[in-house]
Structure 1
Amino acid sequence: MNEKINYPPLKPVPLLSSCLDCRLSELCLPFGLNADEVKQLVSIVKNKRPIPADAVLFWQGDDCQSLYAVKSGSFRTFITNADGSEQTLGFYLPGELMGLDALQHGRFSSSATALETAVVCELPLAHLNKLCAAIPGLQNQLMRILGKEIASDHDKIVLLGHRSARERVATFLLMLSRRYDALGLSSTEFNLSMRRQDIANFLGLTIETVSRQLAELSREGVITIKQRGVQINDPAMLKAIVEPCMAQPLSHSA
């Protein structure tokens, strides 16, 4: 059962382990800021203890006091329906910002749970709003991140709209490939930190269908399955499966 972790009072992130030397800074809020502006951002960032796998960072309906940037690990966001069932909305990798769905009403409209041991940087919203007013570059970067989130939602609509199971699974793998590439990691060999049932729930398929499609792609030599890892052997073939069902290039978010 998912459990929300209660943390002791937060402390500022030590300067040397923060935005100034973080390898993810070009993907996150510091992008485009000068050194003095980054230092101002660092002054409001809080860090949490490592979040264990399956622990909940925030619950649907919680008041939003902060946004969260993934520093390491990965997360799944989901909503809980009236009948108690869960619908997976997406997956977040390092450098990506969680909690943007709460900006409209001040409450999280989804829950976020760690898929593996993870670390986040907490950005208290009150301080962040003041900084955005003082630093135009920070506000611009936040707008770009919001735009990326909207583009990701568009991709999901296309992904789930009248597409075959094969196209959905191939598109999902290609989305992850591009996101890992943006992190400076291998775009052809990576781990699937999410469970098969989470992938199936996200894609609107059954676990059996997802497993069957992965097995078929593996038999065709397009990919190789290594326990929870995937190696893309034929990126061109994967793109050929995806391209007929995508009118625009995929954004690297899922």
Structure 2
Amino acid sequence: MTSTSIKVACSSCNLRELCMPVGLSVDQMERIDEIVATRRKIKRGSALFRNGETFTSLYAIRTGFFKTSIATEDGRDQVTGFQMAGEIIGLDGIVNDRHSCDAIALEDAEVCVMPYSSLEEVSREVTALQHHVHKVMSREIVREHGVMLLLGSMRAEERLAAFLLNLVQRLHARGFSQHELILRMTREEIGSYLGLKLETVSRTFSKFAEENIIEVKQRHVRILDTDKLQGLINTQACAA
């Protein structure tokens, strides 16, 4: 894990509308620029932070993909989420001043480091920033509820359909295709997140391919029939 000392300007970042409030004045944007101390590069497979580490900062993902996970009592890793460019990671540490999960890079990544004390200070002056942080937290709560719905009441086909639609919607908001994606996570990690066995995930991918809903080539997935995929699930489930 390496850190850079490059000063970053949120005002000139092409992801600012995803991870920062919109409609700010030049002065307000300059104050927000002061929050971001550095960018940090994280190699694939390395941790941005670990469960139990002291919480100091939130991180805006600039490039790359992460997974968050917790260790279960029997020693397995339970994947709790996948995060991508333009999303904020590290919110788990606010409640007890310690991180409650591991955040691992699924590919080489770069994050903007936002010291939480600075964020709080500027939030008092720039109310739009405070409101935005609250929105990010609320989005996490909604996402958690969506995952609980997935795990509690859906069949394997519904879980995987909701997962793929959610992923492609988030990627589309970042300028990517509405119908194609490259899975940065393994089938096993998808299974851990969705509460499914590896064989079930693989079998469901194959079933979707046989029914011409998707086309799968290793980690490359092309959605051929969005309506059919959407029809497998309750529309509410992928709104997280």
- Aligned counterpart in structure 1 of residue 106 of structure 2, from 105, 111, 115: 115
Matched-pair contact (CA < 8 Å) for 2:146–2:237: no
5+ residue gaps, structure 1? none
Letter of the 2:239 counterpart: S
AA partner of residue 80 (structure 1): A
The answer for the alignment partner of 1:167 in structure 2 is: 158
SS in 2 for 1:197: helix
Deviation at 1:61, TM superposition (A): 0.8
Q: Does 1:193 align with 2:184?
A: yes
| Residues paired across the two proteins, number | 240
Report deviation, 1:176.
0.5
- Deviating more after overlay: 168-177 vs 76-85: 76-85
Identity among equivalent positions (%) equals 37
- Residues 84-104 of structure 1 show CA distances to partners (whole Å, capped at 9, x for unaligned) of 211100000111101111111
Q: Tell me if 1:26 matches 2:26.
A: no
Task: State the alpha-carbon separation in 2 of the partners of residues 111 and 77 from structure 1.
Answer: 5
The answer to whether the aligner puts 1:13 opposite 2:1 as a matched pair is no
Are residue 250 (structure 1) and residue 232 (structure 2) matched?
A: no
Partner residue in 2 for 1:93: 84
- Aligned-partner residue type, residue 92 of structure 1: Q
Q: C-alpha distance in 1, partners of 2:182/2:132? A: 29
Mark the CA change 1:137 to 1:78 in structure 2 (over 3 Å): closer, same or farther: same
- The 3-state SS of whatever aligns with 2:19 is coil
Any idea what SS the aligned residue of 2:196 has? coil
Letter aligned with residue 22 of structure 1: C
Matches of 1:133 and 1:182, distance apart in 2: 29
What secondary structure does 2:232 align onto?
Answer: helix
Matched letter for residue 162 of structure 1: S
Report the Cα distance in structure 2 between the residues aligned to 1:230 and 1:173, rounded to whole angstroms. 9
1:172-213: CA deviation from partner (whole Å, max 9, x where unpaired): 101101111211211210110011111010011111110110
Measure, in 1, the Cα distance between the counterparts of 2:87 and 2:215.
27
What is the CA–CA distance in structure 1 between the aligned matches of 2:174 and 2:239, rounded to whole Å?
14
The Cα RMSD (Å) is 1.5
Normalised to the residue count of structure 2, the TM-score between the two structures is 0.95
Superposed counterparts of 1:90-169, under 5 Å: 90-169=81-160
After TM superposition, which residue ranges in structure 1, 4 or more long, deviate above 3 angstroms?
Answer: none
- The Cα shift of 1:249 comes to 5.9
* Contact persistence 2:162–2:237 (CA under 8 A): no
> Structure 2: which amino acid aligns with 1:251?
A
Alignment TM-score, normalising by the size of structure 1: 0.90
Q: Classify 1:22/1:48 alpha carbon distance in 2 versus 1 (closer, same or farther; 3 Å).
A: closer
Q: How far apart are 1:137 and its partner, in Å?
A: 0.7
